[in-house]
Amino acid sequence: MARVLVPVAEGSEELETVTVIDLLRRAGIEVVSAGIEAGPLTASRGVVLTPDTTLEDALKQNFDMVVLPGGGPGAERLAADGRLVALIQRMSQEGKYTAAICAAPKVLAQAGVLEGKQATSYPGVLASVGGGGAVISENPVVVDGTVITSRGPGTAMDFALQLIEILVDKPTRDDVETALQRP
């Protein structure tokens, strides 16, 4: 079974965070949410989230993918955490998946994993940090090798479904999507 780490911080976008965790778990993927600080945190719209563990404890475990939720303030806090940046770099070097949505692709840019890759983000976010060497796309979800990026809250479900297809398979993605009763 695939294992996914979802780091969260004060100001992370709750729609993106919860959608990714929920849909991946529906697909039978083990998801661990980890706060960069201990305890509950307040997300970007005031929802209180309680991570499964701390980033410090999560760093002692192995994961197949790390998924970064956006939210401007949350993404800034994730980008400022050297432990997380080092994890992303290591996972990329090991050929493991790194994924980010909304404002969080800036963390991938900072970690240097977007060089020569196609990537997307919330409008203007990647451009504001020089793109990290990425070819910036306006597509809702972009997959380039082991890097997966997405635009924002409105694309969170498509993003999560794409992650399921990558980590498990298309029939599992289709089963999860069918049960959601999307039009």
Q: Which of 107, 45, 37, 121 is nearest to 79 (CA)?
A: 107
Within 8 A by CB and 6+ apart from 80, the residues are none
d(CA 69, CA 19): 10
- Start-to-end C-alpha separation, the chain: 29
Name the phi and psi angles at 149, rounded to 5. Answer: -135, 160
Q: Is 102 a catalytic residue?
A: yes
Q: What size, in residues, is the chain?
A: 183
Contact 83, 112 (CB under 8 A): no
Give the active site residue among 58, 102, 113, 168: 102
Which DSSP helix (H) or strand (E) runs through 3?
Answer: strand 3-8
d(CA 143, CA 163): 10
Q: Active-site residue numbers?
A: 102
